[in-house]
Structure 1
Amino acid sequence: MSDRKAPSLSNLVQRFFLEHLGQHRAVSRQTVAAYRDTLRLLLGFAAQRLHRTPSAIALLDLDAPLLLAFLDHLEKERGNSVRSRNARLAAIRTFLKYAGHHDIDALATIERALAIPQ
């Protein structure tokens, strides 16, 4: 564990969109919208599953079992195709890779989540 306080999930998400996608990666508006929609769906699912508000969710809560349940939810309850599911997973993986550079305490959780196959 590091001595520095880990950034909040909301702070990580904000920096991911503003700094990483907006400035460093210069991705299209469509990509930003797709990533935004994915994280919105994920945080809504996690809030319901964990019985918390989205602002009370931590990066460590986004573990592999929760992500697998979310992906299953996308396919079975929302009727998403495998292609859409994999696009959502790619967006989540991009966010988690970014988050891993900023929250060292969450690296083990992130590593297990990144091991989820397409």
Structure 2
Amino acid sequence: MRSDIHTIHKRFRLTANEIDALLAAPDRRTGIGRRDHALLLLACQTGLRLSELTGLTIGDIELGTGAHVRCHGKGRKDRATPLTKQTVATLRVWLTERDGQSSEPLFVTRVGRRLSSDAVEKLVTKHAVRAAENCPTLTGKNVTPHTLRHSAAMALLHAGVDTSVIALWLGHEDLASTQPYLHADMTIKEQALARVQPHNTSPGRYRAPDALLAFLDGL
């Protein structure tokens, strides 16, 4: 039974090498490729839900000191997630190219409309298929936006981050609306982020207990 649980989780999460291959798949010589790369990197690093990704506006991205993305999650609750230097650099390039107002969608189609959930699912699938050409372990995996969310959670878990912090990170805790709480929330998350290795490094091996895998299933 235990081996079956781990087989399922291997199937529905990506390894560091698989994430690197996925991030390398978009053709960054094109505007659409740079958009897709930025979206995939943001999804892999933050673990945002699909609805949260598509709902982002330009104004939700803060790239200065304490760089973070602010999103509107379930139950109309806002939360902020810190960004790595790699994600900040990528988003800075994309925002310069996007060149829109703060209230406008962060990720848009060729004609400037907000990307739909279906469109994001299709682009993730497309790039996963292309990535499999250079990363055979991706072959046969059903890579979806939720796979990226699950993989972000596993990266935090692998780094030794407590499950309560992972739940907070992914928006599974009741968040107070006061600024003091939001500041403390960001501090906890930044400490968690500091423990996660960049996507282009080898994370080594980790075998999570069944109880933790069951927790991740509910994300």
Which is greater in Rg?
A: 2
Structure number with higher strand proportion? 2
Structure number with higher helix proportion? 1
